[in-house]
Amino acid sequence: MSKIAIGVSIPVMIIVGLSFGLQMYDTSGLENIQTEEFDISKQEIAWNIIKSYKGADDEGSNLLDTIITQTENAYPNEKILKHNDTILEISVQDIREQKGVGFYEVKFTFQTYDDVRGYIWYVNIETEEIIPINSGASEMMNIVDFSD
């Protein structure tokens, strides 16, 4: 699995989606954004389902904004997104063989100088069902589901 800096050989849809989600947080200094190369458009669909999820009512903040806000709130006196040691990593794996038709595993890892927060979901791109796999993913979905 090769990792590359965002902006190199990544489909425009991923760059644009990620850029819009992060621009509202003034991340101009965050250069350590990494993502796995998304070779298949179905992987892009899985990532888009996760980042744009707005809860059952489809209103309010999306999942990506919520994760970024929660990370910023954990460092109230710092501009953590501009810190040299902050790394955002996104990967999408096809898990259709293990879980059935349409399923992808989306991992979102936010690493700061003193903490690593990981969020893992299974996404069915045919039904847009999102299944949180770890406690971090469940917590973020609960925040999105129950806040407006």
pLDDT for 101 equals 75
pTM of the model: 0.71
Query: For residues 127 and 73, is the Cβ–Cβ distance under 8 A?
Result: no
Q: How many domains does the chain have?
A: 1
In this predicted structure, what is the pLDDT of residue 26?
Answer: 46
Average model confidence (pLDDT) across the chain: 77
- Position 69: which residue type? T
Q: Which pLDDT tens digit goes with each residue over 85-144?
A: 999 899 999 998 777 678 999 999 989 999 999 999 999 999 999 999 999 999 999 999
Contacts of 84 (CB under 8 A, 6+ apart): 32
Range of the domain at 14: 3-146
